[in-house]
Chain A
Amino acid sequence: MSYDLSRVDYTLCGITYPDTLKILPASDQKLKQRFVVGDKNGVLQCLSIKDEEPVVNFKTLPGKPITCVQLGSNAGNTSDKIFTASGNEVKGYNRKGKVFFAIETSVSETITSMSVIGNDLILCSGRTITFYRDLQELYTYICDDRVLDSTPFSTPNSVRVRLLVIIANKEALIVENGKLLQKIYVPAGPTSITVPPFIGHDVSAIYGSADGSIGVLNYQESELTSKCLVPGAGLGSVTCLGWLNNSSGYHLAVGRHDGSIQLHLINSENLNDKPRLKFTYFSGEPVTSVCGGVITTDEPELLAATFSGRIFGLRSNRFMPGNISSASLDVLANRRSKLEAEVAKLEKQAISEREKYQRNTRSFLSGISVPPLLEIEYELTGATHNNWQEVKLISAVPLDVLFVYCENKLEIQTDSTAVLSICTQQENNSPELLATIRCQAGTRRLWMRIRILDDNETKMEGTRVLIYVLPTGAPRVARLIKLYLSLLPHYSKYESPDIENKQRPCELNILGPFSVAEMTAWLSQILPGELPRPSTTVIFARSHTTLGTFLIYIPEDCCLNAFKLLEDKFKSAYNYHKECEIKDAISSLDLDENVIKNEEEPVLCSDYLRILNSLTKEDNMEETFEVLIDTVEKWYLNWCKISFMGRHSNAHLLKLQHALQNCNISEIEECLTFKTQTDEN
């Protein structure tokens, strides 16, 4: 049976980052709990709710954006010490709002997540994890990719702290004392982790991931394992996790990028049991925090914050109508009328300001109008199958229209709720793309996919895509977002630089009077995603998302070598491709289901039947074969370009294409040796 919870709005704050809302533990006298929220304006507020009306316990002055809020914990219990991180600073507040702790750390990037356990402070910023004990830096650990979240576990009979870390290249690590103990790859791509409140000394945590799925990470007997519990089912990526404990048990609360909030009932005896979905709510904008506690009524409720700064509760309907006394009805009506008055006042103020603003446009004395930048966050992922790259965009204000411009040929897809309209080019035969995306009312997040249409020419520079974002209401300003599609969009996955490659890797050595910064600038044109900050030595590795190859350049015989690396993958893709063709052929015959199932007089031979029944089509796989063929062909052409001054014989190319299509390995290898061609030259 699923729960029936309804939304109660409490208050507004500024833009919030993930996990910046926390519920304080209940104090002894009072049953009701307070909560703290930190926003982008740098304001930290501690609030309690009385009769659905927010009461401010304390509120700080605006400052640097608060990117992380955490409660201290001691020996497994959460304390009421509040810690906030903004930039490289960490501050501690007690429950009265008094600063008892402030430190400016040495980390170079913004702190994105932190934990406080006893006297230990663990900070994650960029690729580094920094461990402080008693305000002394104990160690730092540098990961292969950005750290997304981390959580500490105390080790039995030891003062050492074990860290479970998830990083952007879809890996989960166990780090202890600055050393890597274990590392595994989690294909779903975890984005945030949370430790169940009921867990003892085990090292286990629930993760939510980029594909929307939920799973569990366990570290037992020096073995880190992951298990998917709930598949993504088309929901957006997980942005935050929380817990709600009520009479029916422990619930995992999941907040997602697409605005959904879900409650899953978790078996506290066995974390690996499949959670039961109890409740789903769509808030319409990305959810940044979810947590459970006793806020208004005696029953625990779920408290959520969104990107734009809405804070609301989701609570059981049992406490809603009948049980409410007439007194609280009055209180509610009172709250409503108070808000109405406030909005009316604001409206009046806005109208007068608007008039003032418009009057300015007619005056001769020109001032300068400098509206603040629209609050928009966006993300461009590396290419996955078929060259598609995803752009996710969230906004604090509802969106009206987006205009996309690109000088090169670009293909674009978007949400099914938005109307995409491709405009005619400004000049005939120009490859440029001009497109508009008209959003439904109230849209605050948008998803689109873009890919460069291949004109079979090796490009020397990346592609710039301009997106103009026009909001629905005031302020009437449009923000320009510049995206850069790199030359090698597939190489988005970070790898550990010291991979043991079975094959001899191809090497490119560049020597010259340039700095690491210059090199990084050059690489940023080529590779997608963020690069490590320039320092004296930068080592990193990337891998191809579909081919599984690492960065490759073309020295002597490289085509053949490279192909040999791929050979197994190519063969399996070929077989799969053939089977798909057969299946298509059979299904296009449109045979009656009864005929197929008729076992007495089989119409299809057993092999065909197996293919028809067993083969489930996956987009990725089917395209892989095409991608492989394209890649090999391109290698061939590029090689010709470099070594034969751009000349290549069409006959040879055709021969190669034919060989590739039919998976004739020996012939392909022969082509890729370039023997005959070199002779001709």
Chain B
Amino acid sequence: MQVSSVQPVFKLELNHKVTPGIVTIAKYDGTHYCLTASAGYDKIIIHHPHGGMSAGRAQRSQAHGEVSELNLSQAVIALEAGPIKPDCARDMLLIGSPTQILAYDVHNNSDIFYKEAPDGVNVIIAGHFSKYTDMLVMVGGNSSVSGINCEGEEVFWNVVSGKVISMITFDFDKDGKNELLIGCEDSYIKVLKDDHFIMEIAETGPVSCLSNINEVRFAYGLANGTIGIYEEGIRLWRVKSKQNARNLQWSGENLVCCWANGRIDWRDCTGRVLRRVQLRSDAAAMILADYRTVGIPDIVCVSTKGEVLGFPPILDNVGSNTAKIAPSEEDRLAVTELLNKKQALMIELQHYESNAANTSLDIDRPDSAMPTNTRLQVAVAADTDEGCLQLAVSTNNDTIVRMALVLAEGIFDSGETLARHPHSAQLRSVLYIPLKPPRDVPVDVHIKALVGYPESEQFHIFELTKQLPRFSMYTVVSSSIVKSKVVNYVSFRITERVQRICIWINQNFLLDEEIEINNEETKELHISFMCLRDMSRLDLDFCPDGQVKITTHDIRLAGDLIQSLAVFLNLSDLQVLQIHIYYF
């Protein structure tokens, strides 16, 4: 399938530079869309192609007749618009500066409210959330989210673990009320329902954009170039690019992704690229709006140089190239595809053939030889000296592991891979790869190892996938050795057999031997771990009376453990009895 390009349906120049990411579109008079963007530090430009602006604070721009400029005395961090006044259909402009939010009625040239934001402003959205009937202004700060009504009063507030960098409202649990989806800089997508988080989705990089698709799906984009789609908390697909996604929008039946370098691609529901367009400069934003007032929203792309392009949704069976393919052409494409396959198969067969030809001969290690019964084994073990997990990759004969690549996301300091390529003097049949997952999330590691002889010109590739459990960085220590010095603990009560707890431990920790409880009568379990990151101690005590005590100095770990245990045991509500923290 070939990727086609498209021509825009409209094109205009703003004659102003546009700050990436700070763009919105709004109907200030209730009927006509106006593109609004930040054009430098404290300047906001409003494009009003459908009619003049009533004079006010906004001044007509010298560079473009249909653009008005609005100057604030503070830096513009975020822009959003929405009909936040309950009795009014006109959109109000919401301007976020580093420490405050201004709601401004562009049409009437009046301020609606002015609100201090002590936690900073990173994202502003306007939408309906939870039980609140009025449209709210939701502000994502450096460690919190808050909701403000049209009077400028704060109606809710909640703590978020990391800096909030993207937000949407979305009915996650399908109860008819919207939840707030929060994309955090610490690589989580969090779902806020009323006043508590009902889900945390661990991702592999800062979640820089989120976008609604339909009632059950939403799209996300990460700062490391990954984009993908979730349906009911399960990821359907993801792809990774070198670029960062600026915006994602759902148009027609396609996910449109606008990349920071100005490339825009349309993907079908499986992530395959259907068509692609390149802007002449970097992209500032992409929004979905009916800017031509034709009844269906177009994709509106804005470049950093102020170029605006509009693309209609791809409509099936309307003059598209695929529909017109004649049967003969279809056959020809199939022939090309079949020959592709044939070529690949012939190369593979050639490979086996020459193998068979060689098995009879006794060759002393030519450049690409390897005993046919070579196998690769992988093991993971905790290394307390180095404070990491050691992934051991070994062969079962005198061949050596020349090189190993580990592909995993979010666990390496730089890039997506970790490689080990020993010195030629240190080539062995076993190779150790140190892993240090920085967060307690389950990680899939893909290993590609090259096996052969030291002087080989060609190596055999062995591929394996290993899953590291969520708490793999905690290794069992005998609880008898030293009594724990940690005095901080969390305790709560559950009514669950200790055998089930064992299953949870076996699934979530990396153990040399699985814990087994032979005696049906056993009612308690005491187990101690050591964290490989900082050598701190973690004790888990499950008492006969159902009381559970987690002793650790890391409150986040305690929270993660409770969360994981609660999900495993299917507990919806857990009453924590006591949190005991000493500050030193």
Task: Give complex CA distance A310, B341 in Å.
Answer: 12
Judging by beta carbons under 8 Å apart, are B461 and A477 in contact? yes
Contact assessment for B369 and A369 in the assembled complex, using a CB-CB cutoff below 8 Å: yes
Q: A419 touching B242 by the CB < 8 A rule? A: yes
- The answer to the question of B296 belonging to the interface, with a C-beta cut-off of 8 Å to chain A, is no
Contact with B along A335-374 (1 / 0, CB 8 A): 1100110110011011001101100111111111111111
Which of chain B's residues has its CB closest to A345's CB?
Answer: B345
Question: In the complex where A336-B338, A346-B342 touch, is A353 in contact with B352 (Cβ < 8 A)?
Answer: yes
Q: Are A478 and B334 also in contact (CB < 8 A) when A342-B342, A367-B371, A369-B369 are?
A: no
Complexed CA–CA distance, A12 and B458 (Å): 26
- State whether the Cβ of B355 lies closer than 8 Å to any Cβ in chain A: yes
| Smallest CB separation, B204 vs chain A (Å) | 13
Determine whether B197 belongs to the interface, using a CB cutoff of 8 Å to chain A.
no
Contact of B346 among A8, A12, A52, A372 (CB under 8 A): A12
Q: Which residues of A contact B341 (CB under 8 A)?
A: 343, 347
Q: Is the interface of B mostly helix, strand, loop or mixed?
A: mixed
- Decide yes or no whether A118 CB sits under 8 A from chain B: no
The interface-forming segment of A85-93, A141-149, A468-476, A628-636 is A468-476
Closest to A309 in B: B343
B267 to chain A, nearest CB (A): 14
Q: Is B349 an interface residue (CB 8 A)?
A: yes
Q: Are B417 and A423 in contact (CB under 8 A)?
A: yes
Shortest distance between the CB of B53 and any CB in chain A (Å):
23
Interface centre among A360, A372, A478 (most CB of B within 10 A): A478
- The smallest C-beta distance from B5 to any residue of chain A, in angstroms, reads 13
Which of chain A's residues 316-341 have a Cβ closer than 8 Å to chain B? Answer: 320-321, 324, 328-329, 332-333, 335-336, 339-340
Is A473 a contact partner of B358 (Cβ separation < 8 A)?
no
Q: Does B457 contact A (CB under 8 A)?
A: yes
Give A400 to B342 CA distance when docked, in angstroms. 19
Q: Is A403 an interface residue (CB 8 A)?
A: yes
Given A361-B373, A373-B458, A423-B417, A9 and B327 touching (CB < 8 A)?
no
Complex: how many Å from CA A645 to CA B347? 59
Q: Please give me the residue from chain A that is nearest to B375 by CB atom.
A: A361
If over half of A's interface residues share one DSSP class (helix, strand or loop), that class is named, otherwise mixed; here it is mixed
Contact with A397, one of B344, B367, B448 (Cβ below 8 angstroms): B344
Determine if A308 is an interface residue (Cβ-Cβ < 8 Å).
yes
- Contact flags B64-87 to A (C-beta < 8 A → 1, else 0): 000000000000000000000000
Task: In the complex, identify which listed stretch (B21-29, B211-219, B407-415) lies at the interface while the others stay far away.
Answer: B407-415
Once bound together, how far apart are the Cα atoms of A369 and B372, in whole Å? Answer: 5
- Contact check, B363 vs A470: say whether CB atoms are below 8 A apart: no
The docked-state distance in angstroms from the alpha carbon of A396 to that of B344 is 10
Whether, in the assembled complex, A421 has its beta carbon less than 8 Å from a beta carbon of chain B, the answer is yes
Task: Judge whether B368 is part of the interface by a CB distance below 8 angstroms.
Answer: yes
Q: Does A385 contact B (CB under 8 A)?
A: no
Cβ A419 vs Cβ B418 within 8 A: no
- For A592, the closest partner residue in chain B by CB is B63
Interface 1/0 per residue, B434-456 and A, CB below 8 Å: 00000000000000101000001
**A478–B332 touching, CB < 8 Å:** no
In the complex, which of the residues B328, B343, B349, B361 contacts A350, with contact meaning CB atoms closer than 8 Å?
Answer: B349
- Which of chain B's residues have a CB closer than 8 A to the CB of A509? none
Interface of chain B residues 360 through 392 with chain A (CB within 8 A): 361, 363, 366-375
Contact across chains for B373 and A354 when beta carbons are under 8 A apart: no
B232 in the interface (beta carbon within 8 A): no
Which residues on the B side are within 8 Å of A401 (C-beta)?
405, 448
CB-CB contacts of B121-141 with A at 8 A, as 1s and 0s? 000000000000000000000
User: Does chain A have a CB within 8 A of B421?
Assistant: yes
**Closest Cβ–Cβ distance, residue B131 to chain A (whole Å):** 45
B11 at the A interface (CB under 8 A): no
Determine the distance from Cα of A396 to Cα of B346 in the docked complex, in whole angstroms.
12
**Which of B367, B373, B413, B456 contacts A360 (CB under 8 A)?**
B373
Residue with the greatest number of chain B CB neighbours at <10 A, chosen from A363, A371, A422: A371
| A353 and B422 alpha carbons, distance in the complex (Å) | 34
Q: List 21 A-B contacts (CB under 8 A).
A: A7-B336, A324-B328, A332-B328, A347-B345, A357-B355, A357-B372, A360-B373, A369-B460, A423-B417, A423-B418, A426-B421, A436-B405, A436-B417, A436-B419, A468-B459, A473-B348, A475-B347, A477-B368, A478-B459, A478-B461, A480-B458
Apart from A343-B345, A370-B366, A478-B461, 20 more pairs, CB < 8 Å: A9-B339, A52-B332, A336-B331, A336-B334, A336-B335, A346-B345, A365-B373, A367-B358, A367-B373, A369-B355, A369-B369, A372-B350, A403-B419, A436-B415, A468-B403, A476-B463, A477-B368, A477-B460, A479-B457, A480-B458
Please list the residues of chain A having a beta carbon within 8 angstroms of any beta carbon in chain B: 6-9, 11-12, 52, 308-310, 312, 320-321, 324, 328-329, 332-333, 335-336, 339-340, 342-343, 346-347, 349-350, 353-354, 356-357, 360-374, 396-397, 401, 403, 405, 416, 419-424, 426, 434-436, 438, 466, 468, 470, 473-480
Q: When A and B form their complex, which 9 residue pairs have the shortest distance between CB atoms, in order from nearest?
A: A421-B415, A321-B326, A475-B351, A360-B372, A367-B359, A474-B348, A353-B352, A366-B371, A370-B358
